[in-house]
Each structure stands twice: as structure tokens, then as C-alpha cells.
Amino acid sequence: MAHPPDTPIVIDETALEDILGPPMYYNEMSERLAQPGVAVGLAWTENGGQIMFVEALSMAGEGQLTLTGQLGDIMKESATLALNWVRSHAKKLGLETFSVDRKNIDLHIHFPAGAVGKDGPSAGVTVVCVLVSLFSGHAVRSDTAMTGEITLRGLVLPVGGIKEKVLAAHRAGIRRIIMPKKNEKDLHEIPVNVKNQLSFILAQNVTDVLNAAFDDDFPKLTIPFLQVQSKL
């Protein structure tokens, strides 16, 4: 029968890396989100959820939009929709430069990891935050990731893969998640130990998203949204 060692075995971060190998996720939130025009989205893949950085850059031009990152048609449409929503609310958002000079500004929105194909509508809220961040000069909170489809009226619609996306955010060190209010029912699938370490902001419209995505120095928004009731 083996006897216990004379000195206790210490399992620290160094030992874990020696045993398990380097971490699969490198926490680069603070580094990449320190400047305006960047936000973290959440995506679903066949291998599970993953975080997804979205970046935007503006330059003098003729009002053209460039999208890169091996995007599918649905994601391209979602990015265009997000841009048009921001354009239509530029004055209310305090984005005076974008409101006045938008015909003379070209935009490039990039989804890094270009070797990996991406599609789906769930990056809509992320693109909105990236553009508002870029033109307001305010950085998005580095502890926050988001997912959600948007409409032209600014409503936030439910998306799939919530469990996988939340687990990916948790692994990456994210502690706040902005997601559609209509996905609240999916939170019961999240392990309790993970859920207890996260804050969930349940958004019904884009105003909810923007108010949660920025620090307190960003002006709170009160853009009204029409509540449509069916008569059927």
C-alpha cells in the first residue's frame, strides 16, 4: 500500500498547465476592448459555443460598407441591418459626426478568425454596439459579451445555442452577458455553478442593449419603441 508523500502536493496554475497543457481560451478581453469600435459577441458552432470579437473602422470615402471574416449571407444582412438602425438613430444617439457626414464615411466591419465560416443573425446587437462605440468614442465594457438578433425597429429577437454560448463566455472570463429577454426560458439549462458567477441582462430592445454595454459615463438612452399588438 502506497504511503502519502512527506510534503503536500500543491496544484497551482503552473502545475495545471503542465498537466493539462496550455489553456484553450486566452483572456484577451481587456487588451482588445480597451479602444472604441470593438465588442464581444457569442456564436454557436458544431463544436459548441465560442466568443467572437467584432471590430469596426471608419475612413473617408463614399458611404460604402465592407464586411470581412468569411461571413454567410444571413450575417451580412444582419450587419447591414444593424448599420441602418444606427444611421437612422444617429442624432438621438449623439453621433453627430456620423449623422452629418455618413455619406462621406466608409465603414469596414471585421469578424476575426477569418478561416472559420460564420453565419446567422445573432451578431446584430454586437454590431450595433461596435458602431455606437466607434462613433461615440466610448469603449464597450470588457467584462461583457452579447448575443441577439435585431429588427429594423430595434427589437431584440431570440436566438439559438444559449447554453453553449454562455458556457463559452464563462470559460473566456466574461462575467456579464446581454441576451434577448425572450431567451430567459433557456437559462434553466445553464449549470447552477456557472449561472451563479454571471450576470444576465435580458434585453427587449436595442436601447436595453446599449445601456448595459457601456460604463456609467455613457449617456443613458430613452429611444421609444412602439409596442405592436396583434388584432388577429
Distance of CA 146 to the CA centre of its chain: 3
- Residue 30 catalytic? no
Nearest to 143 by CA among 101, 172, 119, 117: 172
Nearest to 203 by CA among 184, 180, 222, 221: 180
Catalytic annotation, pick one of 78, 118, 122, 133? 122
Nine cell digits for residue 76: 451580412
- Residue 122 catalytic? yes
Classify residue 155 by its DSSP letter. B
Whole-angstrom Cα Rg for the chain: 20
Q: Provide φ and ψ at 146, rounded to 5°.
A: -150, 160
CB 151 within 8 A of CB 157: yes
Nine cell digits for residue 12: 497551482
Residues labelled catalytic: 122, 165
